[in-house]
């Protein structure tokens, strides 16, 4: 606390911050276009979230999750930094945990780090394919009670755990 006395008018109450929570965009960002990133930014603004966190996955993580080849993490991060610069958003963060670890990071460890580091409540923004993969993990039941999901598109076919927890997620398309 500061030792400097501040003067305020009688009855002054500081403005309450109406922006709360975090949207976490968890993806490899290999096939995500500027349109999807713009959609994530508009959801953040429309729903008054405090932060949009972009979480690009390391090559090893993508390899274990989907077996699809991806470009190097630094190249995908460069595209995200360019997009962020165009947006000029101070409320957009590109999380670099996987760049620091330089290896496979389980989704549990990533979500634990993200929920401890950023304001709650946490909403996880996923593609339909990634949502089905997340639902196939045993820890999904634990995490679906702590976070909510926003899907860019509804997966077809829908994983049974997603179907069972339909009240905890929504599709934006």
Domains of the chain, residue spans: 22-171
Rounded Cα–Cα distance for residues 59 and 65 (Å): 10
SS3 of residue 27 by DSSP: strand
What pTM value is reported for the model? Answer: 0.83
CATH T-level assignment (fold) for domain 22-171:
Rossmann fold (3.40.50)
Q: Please give the C-alpha separations between residue 156 and each of 36, 103, 135, in angstroms, as whole numbers.
A: 19, 30, 13
Residue by residue, pLDDT tens for the chain (173 residues) are 566 777 878 877 777 666 688 999 998 888 888 889 999 999 988 888 888 999 998 888 888 888 788 888 899 999 999 999 988 777 889 988 888 888 888 888 899 999 999 888 889 999 888 899 899 888 889 999 899 999 988 888 889 998 998 888 888 87
Whose CA is closest to 110, among 36, 23, 49, 24?
Answer: 24
**Please, which residues have CB within 8 angstroms of residue 56's CB and are 6 or more apart in sequence?**
27, 28, 29, 73, 76, 77, 80, 94, 95, 98, 99
Sequential DSSP letters for 32-52: --HHHHHHHHHHHHHTT-SEE
Task: For 24, list phi and psi in degrees, rounded to 5.
Answer: -110, 115
Distance CA 173, CA 170 (A): 9
Whose CA is closest to 151, among 57, 55, 26, 54? Answer: 26
H/E stretch holding 17 reads none
């Amino acid at each position: 606390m500061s030792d400097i006395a501040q003067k305020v008018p009688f009855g002054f109450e500081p403005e309450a911050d109406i922006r709360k929570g975090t949207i976490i965009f968890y993806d490899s960002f290999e096939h995500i276009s500027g349109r999807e990133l713009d959609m994530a930014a508009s959801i953040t603004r429309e729903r008054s979230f405090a932060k949009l966190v972009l979480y690009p996955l390391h090559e090893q993580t993508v390899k274990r999750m989907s077996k699809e080849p991806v470009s190097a993490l630094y190249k995908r991060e460069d595209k995200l930094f360019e997009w962020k610069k165009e947006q000029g958003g101070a409320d957009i963060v590109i999380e670099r945990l996987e760049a620091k670890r330089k290896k496979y990071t389980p989704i549990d460890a990533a979500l634990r780090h993200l929920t401890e580091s950023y304001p709650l409540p946490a909403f996880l923004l996923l593609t339909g394919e990634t949502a089905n993969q997340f639902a196939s993990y045993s820890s999904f039941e634990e995490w679906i009670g702590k976070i909510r999901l926003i899907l860019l598109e509804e997966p077809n076919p829908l994983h049974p755990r997603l179907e069972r927890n339909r009240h905890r997620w929504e599709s934006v398309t």
